[in-house]
Amino acid sequence: MKRLAEQALIYGRLHAVEAPHLIARYNKALSAFGVAPTGLERFSIDMTGFSPEIAAALGDRDYLDPNGVNRRFIILTPEQEGLPVVHTRFSNTAGLMHAFFEANRRVISAVTIKDALYGEIEEDVTQVEDIEDLLRIEEVRFRVLSADDLTGKAAELRTLVDRLETSAEAWRDEAMLARMVALAQETGDIRHNRLVPDQLVFPHRSFWADHFGGVFLFRDARSMVVIGDREAPGFRRSRPWEVSYIDIRDHQRIFDFLARSKRIQVPQASWVERSGLLAHRAEMAVRALIGRTAPEIELDGKDAVWLQTYVQRHAAAVAEDGLYPFFQQALNEVARDGIVRLDEIAPERRLLLVRANPEHDDKWLVNRLLARLAPFDFASRFMFDKQGFYETYAGYPENFRAHVVSWLVNAYLPNKRALRARLYGLDGANENA
């Protein structure tokens, strides 16, 4: 992982915290959570306030997520809105944080001038012990506090102002007036500078949860579908009258669900030729084959011509692996007929030829699922399923690790939005959602 960290492929684009007053505010939030304050003089944070340096010092990556649910957050600056979320148990943590920032931007900007915001993204459960606990999460509420209680003092002042405006006797209450003056000296004029968040409740729709080996929950208007390991507690037993369950190994039913709900685009010339996705997958298949069968080869600097030569010289191994010829045949069908006849293809291979419908709200989540089902495509794993990517990367041979990092640094990072737009039709908005 050291190589990934050095190239900002893990814990990249974080915000440095080194000002003493910000560290003090962060420590007040940690103390409120029952976590020991940090003695670090400099650390970095993501959108939620998670710090890899503090996690390492504490020996606890879950110090802001102790139960894997009801995620904690610490906001020191409005600039956190543009940061990634680098450690989470739910795929939509970033999406919920984006929504919170969007709905409360003025308040966050005002409060963080003098204070830090912290709290929890509260769900209806306190622990996840089976599938039913995940099904119960339909919305979340942000419970928001501030390190120096600026929001609490603003709320108290708002109450006293309301009393002053509605009670004729309030003007004679000298103690109340003195309290209002003291509060206003800390909060400023709350009539013009709101310090209490406007929106705290947000829907929790489709998501992936890092529980029981990974669970995908898709919500539609009148139905829910759970995709995960059939051995997960509660699988097919929780609410069977309203929830459909699909085992993660049942590629036929996964494909049927995604196609029926219009969450995927099947291979057609209209997007395949323009996107280059199948050609990209074919290239990734060859690179993965070399990484597995010839780990001594250093792939850095090897271009498409070299890869094509390798394919020709190792035709037997390529044919046995089967993926490269499969993608080439699909590309030939698209060029000839404009479509691929999916009914003639094995279910597990069909899912390698599709992409998420860019117009569907669940597009990022669907691409995460498809990336999990195509582990040879390390680029797509990194784009959509970083947790899965990091797990797989740890098992790569050393030369292939070096190549993967080099490819991501040189081919992906400088052009990531353009590459995602071309391959997957995504505009990049809320890319952590």
Report whether pLDDT(174) > 80: no
Q: Name the band, by pLDDT with cuts 50, 70 and 90, for residue 34.
A: very high
- The DSSP bridge partners found for residue 227 are 216, 246
The band of 317, judged by pLDDT with boundaries at 50, 70 and 90, is: very high
pLDDT band at 238 (very low <50, low <70, confident <90, very high): very high
Question: Which string of b and e fits 99-135 if b means at least 16 CB within 10 Å?
Answer: bbbebbeebbebbbebbbbbbbbbbebeebeebebbb
Name which of 194, 398, 409 is nearest 298 in CA terms. 398
Residue 430 has pLDDT above 90, yes or no: no
When comparing pLDDT for 389 and 432, which is higher?
Answer: 389
Residue with tokens 């600039």, as numbered in its chain: 79
At residue 26, φ and ψ (nearest 5 deg) are -60, -40
CB 251 within 8 A of CB 351: yes
Report the percentage of the chain scoring pLDDT > 90: 72
In 173-216, which ranges are continuous DSSP H helix? 174-187
Which pTM was predicted? 0.88
pLDDT digits (tens, 9 = 90+) for 181-235: 777 777 665 554 555 676 778 888 999 999 999 999 999 988 999 999 999 999 9
